[in-house]
Chain A
Amino acid sequence: MAQAIKSIVIVGGGTAGWITAGTIAAKLQSEHADGFNITLVESPDVKPIGVGEGTWPTMRRTLKAMGVRETDFIRQCNVSFKQGAKFAKWVTGAEDDFYYHPLVLPQDFDSTNLARHWMERPFEQSFSQAVSPQEAVCEVGLAPKSIATAEYTSIINYAYHLDAGRFSVFLQQHCTEKLNVRHVLDNVTAINAAENGDIASVSTTTNGDISGDLFIDCTGFKSLLLGEHFKVGFKSCKDVLFVDQALAIHVPYESEDAPIASHTISTGQSAGWVWDIGLQNRRGVGHVYSSAHTTEEQASEELLNYIAQTGGHVNEADIRRIPLNPGHRVKFWHQNCVAIGLSAGFLEPLEASSLLLVEISASMIADQFPATRDAMEIVAQRFNSTFLYRWDRIIDFLKLHYMLSKRNDSAFWIDNRDSASIPQSLQDQLTLWQYQPPWHNDFEHAIEVFPAASYQYVLYGMGFDTQASALGMSEVYKQKASSLRQKNTQQIQQMLKTLPSNRALINKIHQYGLQKV
């Protein structure tokens, strides 16, 4: 009989390690008897980077699948609700320059492409305001649901802002107590190869050799298994995405009941941008920039200016420096080892793609879990081609934010428009979108990381011009579109009247909790 895959060893804790452990454990537990085991080995000496604080709406599904109560998660991880991103000063750099990339799809996006209708008179309303209620909800800091809305369900689509440090601890507890994941706190001292080149086991200081059938590398930038042991190559994307340094700091609120923004605020700077994420107890703020276009002193000054302008008080000495190397491994699954998280790669924090990649990687492994070593070859090939495609699409989508800018005030923005820095795949799409707005079939895969709607929000938020169709628009279509826009206006009024503020809802969740149904 072929060698069955029974024993899974995850090397590295942090959010990547624990999301992976929880996702796979929950799936296997729901489908199989107890013939499998999952061990997570974590070094007691390595501190997680802990700045991945923005998620995608997928995190709701991920946590629910693990059997986590949303109420517990919100209470214990300083969570607030995120309904998208507000991009300020990305187009012209002026004070009033902003657009939204909300999480909710445009009205009736399955069958109606409202962008065509909006383009007829784009000056009346911003695109996101015209086609979805979320910008209006975010502008006044409202929550995406009420205390009477069940856990994980929404009135309007949402994701989370979370405290990464707390999140790892929370997941660790859940995985070890509820999902039977074995937690070994120890340093890995050696990686031991089997005859066929697979990893047979990892040696640890005090727990001996830990053997396994499948090894998952969640060791962060170190990439201990895939990078250091297997020497799988790294593909840099610095020629496309320029930011390579981050300065991060925690900013306290002025008072305990200060409002919490219900979206990520990302504000363009001279050589990068500042993220601003509101948690329950503090803001997480950071500046990512291109070291080729500015100095650390300059970047640090811009960050401190931003914090001062937004009413924060911080100590400059608390700024943490995190070097980034935008890029990814040339493959993610090699032999019996797959990398998830920073060990697979990292681009930049824009659009919170990092935790998303962890979730969809873990879920693909759980869904297509290889039953045997032979099956693993096929699963690995599929995993690699799926994720190479996904990384490329994320790179395209992130680049779009920069290359559509009209800013001329610094070389950073001008260089970002240099066609040599724009991937051919993105150039092709843009050629198409000059004549027709993005639509579902513009992409190869049924499940895209960023759907056509995301491209629409960024393109039209940034003032991209798509020509009106020479064939005009039918009366039926016009009527449909205008009734959808009317519906949107009604939804805005309704939501502004009924939704509580982000802070008020979080306080209520602490007091009463959300119901499961």
Chain B
Amino acid sequence: MAQPVLIDYKQHSKTLIKTQRGAEYGENVHFIPVIADEVRALALAYPICFLKDNNTGQFGLNVLTGFEAGENLFLQNNEWRTHYVPIHLRRQPFLVGVTENGAKPTSDNTVLTLDMDSARVNTEQGERLFDEQGNASAYLTQMVDLLGQLMSGNNRTEVFINALLEQDLIEELQLSITLKDGQQKRFDGLYNINEAKLAELKGQALEDFKMKGYLQASYLIAASTGHIQTLLNWKKQA
């Protein structure tokens, strides 16, 4: 369980953050939440899909990185196999804390916190949070910026997903793969764009989709599904 604390110069003047990639930092996950703003960069390498939150049933935008818990096929010997790493991983171990209980995060009610349980947090190696004068380091400024992007991006993504749902453009993906031992495994709970319905979009809905960039994002997401094949190949080689 993450243990977030407020970032403060007095407490964290000696704190260092390891920035390398790796399973030891909790990056061995088989899907990663992403934001709509990242779709263009992600679509070049990752299968982007929609997954439901088990607790709320609400759709979220994700990239698929493996086929079972603990499996991240993009991570090979602690090296990332593609140039782009989702913001959700890059901003760790920083978190946004919401000061009002249960409220939706906005720039007015949020604070920057640090997950002290993260293996990245130490006092021996890595990036500093503050310089000698107590000013935020370039690294910390960059992290604050990433979290800002993530927060506003989450809200935009939710609006985007609601627009897709309103037009019935999300459908369940039928995926079954053959494992090395020849066993067939079916995957439930992966959703992507219904391309046939997307092509039928017309009138005001189509205009809105074009103007807001939803149309392009939808086609990128739909096409990105093909990267599942890359993942399968990697899995076979593993």
**A and B are interacting partners:** yes
Residues of A whose CB lies within 8 Å of any CB of B are: 146-149, 508, 511-517
**CA gap between A517 and B189 in the complex, in Å:** 10
Q: Beyond A148-B52, A148-B189, is A515–B172 a contact (Cβ under 8 Å)? A: no
Q: List 20 A-B contacts (CB under 8 A).
A: A146-B57, A147-B54, A147-B55, A147-B56, A148-B52, A148-B53, A148-B54, A148-B57, A512-B56, A512-B57, A512-B58, A513-B57, A514-B57, A515-B52, A515-B57, A515-B58, A517-B170, A517-B171, A517-B172, A517-B191
A512 and B170 alpha carbons, distance in the complex (Å): 18
18 other A-B residue contacts (CB within 8 Å) besides A147-B55, A517-B168, A517-B170? A146-B54, A147-B54, A147-B56, A147-B57, A148-B54, A148-B57, A148-B189, A508-B56, A511-B56, A512-B58, A513-B57, A515-B52, A515-B57, A515-B59, A515-B165, A516-B168, A517-B172, A517-B191
Residues of A contacting B168 in the complex (Cβ-Cβ under 8 angstroms): 516-517
Q: Nearest-CB distance from A438 to chain B (Å)?
A: 33
Across-interface contacts of B56 in A (CB, < 8 A): 147, 508, 511-512
Q: In the assembly, what is the distance between CA of A146 and CA of B189, in Å?
A: 13
| Beta-carbon contacts under 8 Å, B156-195 to A | 165, 168, 170-172, 189, 191
Q: How far is the CA of A513 from the CA of B162 in the complex (A)?
A: 13
Measured between beta carbons, the chain B residues less than 8 angstroms from A148 are 52-54, 57, 189
Q: Which residues of B contact A513 (CB under 8 A)?
A: 57
Chain B residue nearest to A498 (CB atoms) is: B54
Q: Find chain A residues with CB under 8 A from B170 CB.
A: 517
Compute how far the CA of A517 lies from the CA of B52 in the bound complex, rounded to whole angstroms: 10
Closest A-B pairs by Cβ, 10 of them? A147-B57, A148-B52, A148-B57, A512-B56, A148-B54, A512-B57, A517-B170, A512-B58, A517-B171, A515-B57
- With a cutoff of 8 Å between Cβ atoms, the chain A residues found around residue B59 in the complex are 515
The chain B residue sitting closest to A71, CB to CB, is: B57
Residues of chain A contacted by B54 (CB below 8 angstroms): 146-148
Return B146 CB to nearest CB of chain A, in Å.
28
C-beta contact mask, B190-205 vs A, less than 8 Å → 1, else 0? 0100000000000000
Residues of B within 8 A of A (CB): 52-59, 165, 168, 170-172, 189, 191
The CA-CA distance from A511 to B102 in the complex, in Å, is: 13
CA distance A147 to B58 in the complex (A): 9
Q: B109 to nearest A CB, angstroms?
A: 21
Which residues of the other chain, A, contact B171 by a CB distance below 8 angstroms?
Answer: 517
A321 to B49, CA, bound (A): 56
CB B76 to nearest CB in A, in angstroms, measures: 31
Name which of B53, B54, B57, B165 has the most chain A CB atoms within 10 A of its CB.
B57
Q: How far is the CB of B56 from chain A (nearest CB, A)?
A: 5
* Bound Cα distance from A422 to B171, whole angstroms: 51
How many whole Å from B14's CB to the nearest CB in chain A? 43
Q: Residues of B contacting A516 with CB < 8 Å?
A: 165, 168
Report B-chain residues with C-beta under 8 Å of the C-beta of A508: 56-57
Q: How far is B90's CA from A281's CA once the two chains are assembled, in angstroms? A: 47
> How many Å from the CB of A72 to the closest CB on chain B?
15
Residues of A within 8 A of B191 (CB): 517
Q: Residues of B contacting A146 with CB < 8 Å? A: 54, 57
Given the complex of chains A and B, what is the CA–CA distance between A514 and B165 in angstroms? Answer: 12
Residues of A within 8 A of B57 (CB): 146-149, 508, 512-515
For B55, the chain A residues whose CB sits under 8 A away are 147
Interchain CA distance A516-B168 in the complex, whole Å: 8
A-side contacts of B53, CB under 8 Å:
148
Q: Which of B55, B168, B170, B171 has the most CB of A within 10 A?
A: B55
- How far apart sit A513 and B58, CA to CA, in the bound complex (Å)? 8
A516 to B165, CA, bound (A): 8
Q: Name the B residues within 8 Å of A511 (CB-CB).
A: 56
**Would you give the shortest CB distance from B174 to chain A, in whole angstroms?**
13
B200 to chain A, nearest CB (A): 17
* Residue of chain B at shortest CB distance from A513: B57
Closest approach, in angstroms, between the C-beta of A431 and any C-beta of chain B? 45
Q: Which residue on B lies nearest to A153, using beta carbons? A: B172
Shortest C-beta distance, A14 to chain B (Å), equals 32
**Shortest Cβ distance from B43 into chain A, in angstroms?**
22
CA distance A438 to B53 in the complex (A): 43
B92 to chain A, nearest CB (A): 26
Nearest CB in chain B: distance from A393 CB, A: 37
Q: For residue B57, which residue of chain A has the nearest CB?
A: A147
Q: With A and B bound together, what is the CA distance between A148 and B56 in angstroms?
A: 7
**A514 to B58 Cα, complex, angstroms:** 8
- Docked complex Cα distance between A86 and B53 (Å): 33
Least distance between A389 CB and chain B CB atoms (Å): 39
- A515, B161: Cα distance in complex, Å: 12
Highest count of chain A CB atoms <10 Å: which of B56, B165, B171: B56
Residues in A with CB closer than 8 Å to B165 are: 515-516
Residue of A nearest to B189 (CB): A148
Chain A residue, CB-CB nearest to B55: A147
| CB nearest to B53 among chain A residues | A148
Indicate the member of A147, A512, A517 with the most B CB atoms within 10 Å. A517
> What is the minimal beta-carbon distance from B218 to any residue of chain A, in angstroms?
15
Q: How far is the CA of A146 from the CA of B53 in the complex (A)?
A: 11
Q: When chains A and B are docked, how far (Å) is the Cα of A101 from the Cα of B18?
A: 60
In chain A, what residue has the closest Cβ to B51?
A148
Please, which residue of chain B has its CB at the minimum distance from the CB of A150? Answer: B172
Neighbouring A residues of B58 by C-beta, 8 Å: 512, 515
Kindly provide the distance from the CB of B10 to the nearest chain A CB, expressed in whole angstroms: 40
Q: How far is the CA of A512 from the CA of B57 in the complex (A)?
A: 7
Q: What CA separation (Å) do A36 and B94 show in the bound complex?
A: 63
CA distance A146 to B57 in the complex (A): 8
Bound form: Cα–Cα A149–B172 in Å: 12
- State A273–B34 Cα separation when bound (angstroms): 56
Contacts of A517 in B (CB 8 A): 168, 170-172, 191
Q: How far is the CB of A332 from chain B (nearest CB, A)?
A: 38
Q: How far is the CA of A485 from the CA of B58 in the complex (A)?
A: 35
CB distance from B188 to the nearest CB of A (A): 10
Which residue, A146, A147, A148, A149, has most C-beta atoms of chain B within 10 A? A148
- Of A146, A508, A515, most buried by chain B (CB within 10 Å of CB) is A515
Q: How far apart are A510's CB and chain B's nearest CB, in angstroms?
A: 12
- The complex places the Cα of A265 from the Cα of B34 at a distance, in Å, of 47
Q: Which residue of B lies closest to A509 (CB)?
A: B57
Q: How far is the CB of A113 from chain B (nearest CB, A)?
A: 28
Closest CB-CB distance, A226 to chain B, in whole Å? 41
